[in-house]
């Protein structure tokens, strides 16, 4: 998995011939899932997708978490991010 502090270099895919930066080293979000039966699970999240929009010079980072059971077992999801 990605850590979030990797160096990125994009060549010939933007108005600039070379676009170089480091991904922000932010802590992963915390994810708490409440199941319909009342149990609560805290899930670890992993950074697994990074989208580099070279037109708007924007980076989107996506973390994922996995829980046992199906989507119909979940009553609520709370995601918190460190500020």
pTM: 0.79
Among 49, 61, 60, 52, smallest CA distance to 14 is for 52
Q: How confident is the model at residue 20 (pLDDT cuts 50, 70, 90)?
A: very high
Sheet holding 74-80, edge to edge: 40-43, 30-35, 74-80
pLDDT average, residue stretch 17-25: 94
pLDDT average, residue stretch 22-32: 93
For 32-77, how does the pLDDT look when each residue is reduced to its tens digit (9 = 90+)?
999 999 999 999 999 999 999 998 999 999 999 988 777 788 999 9
């Amino acid at each position: 998995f990605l850590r979030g502090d990797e160096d990125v270099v994009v060549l010939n895919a933007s108005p600039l011939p070379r676009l170089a930066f480091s991904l922000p080293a932010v802590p992963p979000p915390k994810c708490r899932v409440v199941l319909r039966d009342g149990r609560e699970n805290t899930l670890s999240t992993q950074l697994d997708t990074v989208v580099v929009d070279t037109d708007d010079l924007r980076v989107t980072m996506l973390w994922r978490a996995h829980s046992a059971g199906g989507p119909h077992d979940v009553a609520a999801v709370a995601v918190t991010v460190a500020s």
